[in-house]
Amino acid sequence: MKSIFNRLFLIATGLALFAACKKDEARVNFLGGTPPVLTASVTDSVPLSFANAAKTAIVLSWTNPNYQFNTGVSSMDVTYLVEIDTAGANFTNPNRKTISVSKDLSLSISVGDFNDYLLNQLVLAPGVVHNLEIRVSSMLTNNTVSMSSGVIKLNATPYAIPPKVPPPSSGNLFLVGSATSGGWNNPVPVPNQEFTQLSPTTYTITITLSGGQEYLFLPVNGSWSHKYAVKDKTVSGLSAGGDFGYDLSDNFPGPVANGTYKIDVDFQRGKFTVTKQ
């Protein structure tokens, strides 16, 4: 009996060791890779001009990181993130431009798009030389492995362009909606629902808003003919700010909670922000 027990014990132990070996053989381990090497079609200054807006400003190219696993070179798709930022910000600037590229090893950017990145994303002044830094980071589909290239340093002078959203020609802007004390009554009560013009393309208002409601911007008090609105009010985080446009279909989503808020409107960039006071 004891002999049978010993045999069964040895068999069970052998099976356990075999299973453990099979598990080790099946485990996939990351062995490393090579950070992508980034190059650019220009070496000093990115040429920008309104006349050449449709032409190519810069072509960025990078090498494959060749992610290696114990099973061989990875066959998973690699996503690349191209970042454009101001020099010295070390890519921590919340306004830096990030472009996602799937699989491809290059990115061509037109003059118009590059200029737009500088003016409307990085919020840089036109007609002034700005020092820039560009890098690319590679990551696998599951985002568990990421490597960044070296930094390319360039400069560019953005040119002024018409506002992204046409500002009210009268220089007046009004707030209307269920989030306001005046509700959807139009004309709205002034001056408490009238914006202050800070420049030809920027307006601001500080006002008490009801939580969970909506609003619109009106260029003419008392008229529904035209309005400033958003394309899709269900976009996450839009109650705190985002893109807006002229005669779009959806109301601005108001903040969740009652309170006093400052609304800043930038027609040059086509963006608004809502800040709790």
Which of residues 21 and 269 earns the better pLDDT score?
Answer: 269
Please tell me the predicted confidence (pLDDT) of residue 140.
78
Please tell me the predicted confidence (pLDDT) of residue 33.
79
pLDDT at 244 over 60: yes
Which of residues 11 and 83 earns the better pLDDT score?
Answer: 83
**Predicted model pTM:** 0.63
Domains of the chain: 30-156 (2.60.40.10), 174-276 (2.60.40.3620)
Q: List the one residue out of 273, 166, 161 whose CA is nearest residue 219.
A: 166
Please tell me the predicted confidence (pLDDT) of residue 142.
61
* 76-101 pLDDT, tens digit each: 578 899 999 999 999 999 999 999 99
Please tell me the predicted confidence (pLDDT) of residue 15.
52
Average pLDDT of the chain, as a whole number: 89
Rounded percentage of the chain residues whose pLDDT exceeds 70:
84
Residue 70 carries which side chain, given as an amino acid letter? N
SS (H, E, C) 185-223: CCCCCCCCCECEEEECCEEEEEEEECCCCEEEEECCCCC
